[in-house]
Amino acid sequence: MWEDAANAQAIHQEMSQLREKLTPLFSLESKIEDLEAYIELLNEGGSDEESISELQIESNKLNSDIEKLETETLLNGEYDAGDAIVEIEAGAGGVDACDWVSMLQQMYLKWADAQGFKCEVVDESESEIAGLRSTTFIVRGKHAFGYLRSEHGVHRLVRISPFDAAKRRQTSFARVEVLPDLGDQAEVEINPDDLRIDYYRSSGAGGQHVNKTESAVRLTHIPSGLVVTCQNERSQHKNKAMAMHVLQARMVVLDKAKQNEKEAALRGIVKANEWGNQDRSYVFQPYTMVKDLRTGYETGDVLGVMNGNISPFMQSYLQWRQQRREVD
């Protein structure tokens, strides 16, 4: 160990990772023992309402900790521990669909903030009237991809349209795609000759470089047809680097999909961004409900969900995915 510093560092790093996995388990065991001792004490000496209330509070905390640990044990995919790239694109529904993209983006940013994750907006394509035609952002945090992969799919919104003078109910769609952020890992080689690079002026609300220089970058991978844009960085060089970053992730997902004919394990099934293909529905009128059509999980707290309370959907998705694996 002393003679091989590199090997020692690798072993210490592995030890730290194992300790990080075991510490929550040991903590739960200790809490369970404490709770059992407290229950035994109450049985021997009698209990009052205050003691029972305190026992219930501690029991609820313990259940919450167990559920959290259970969820983390399900995050065992190849890229689950890493960061995530989230792309949202408007589908059928016109201006309401563009507004829906903005609403979904805010929902995910609020969820990420509550988890203590960091977010970086890579690209936004604004609609002429309201909302966004598309957006791309990166969520950085432990297991960000593992959690957010549950959000991949078509999301349907049903509400009274604020853009309709007749106040009619409108249905609109947006597709969410979640990719693993591979950082500097070049898992798929991209031939420069296969790329078409376009530079153009950024669009947006304003700023020192917006609409003044051709800093925005569009990369087109000719063989696959994949297109990635980036315009939120200040320089052309940074935008190009970030666009390559996203393209690399999309290429990895495409490569995995080709290798796995049974199911694209990372990207999921790409459906038409329209009627009959939704994976989750958000109903604001005439009643309130959010329901995931894959797992069956639902809640009537639409406002809570839009404020970022989507962890229950993620947990139910992870359990559903595990059950499907066991069946397969």
Structure tokens at 164: 């309709």
Please report, in tens digits, the pLDDT of each residue of the chain (328 residues total).
788 888 888 888 889 878 888 888 899 999 999 999 888 888 887 677 888 888 899 999 898 888 878 888 888 888 898 899 999 999 999 999 999 999 999 999 999 999 999 999 988 989 889 999 999 999 999 899 999 999 999 999 999 999 988 889 999 999 999 998 887 665 677 888 888 988 877 765 444 444 456 778 888 988 888 888 888 776 788 888 888 878 888 887 777 766 665 444 554 555 555 555 789 999 998 899 999 999 999 999 999 999 999 999 999 999 998 888 766 5
pLDDT score for 287? 93
pLDDT score for 30? 92
Angle at 174 between CA 103 and CA 217, to 5 degrees: 90
Structure tokens at 152: 């991949």
Cβ 138 vs Cβ 241: under 8 Å? no
Structure tokens at 83: 């960061």
Residue 323 backbone phi and psi in degrees, to 5:
-65, -40
pLDDT score for 5? 85
Task: Note the pTM of the prediction, 2 decimals.
Answer: 0.74
pLDDT score for 122? 87
pLDDT score for 184? 64
pLDDT score for 210? 47
Q: Which residue matches tokens 């689950």?
A: 80
Residue 139's closest CA among 322, 26, 308?
A: 308
Residue 210 backbone phi and psi in degrees, to 5:
-65, 130
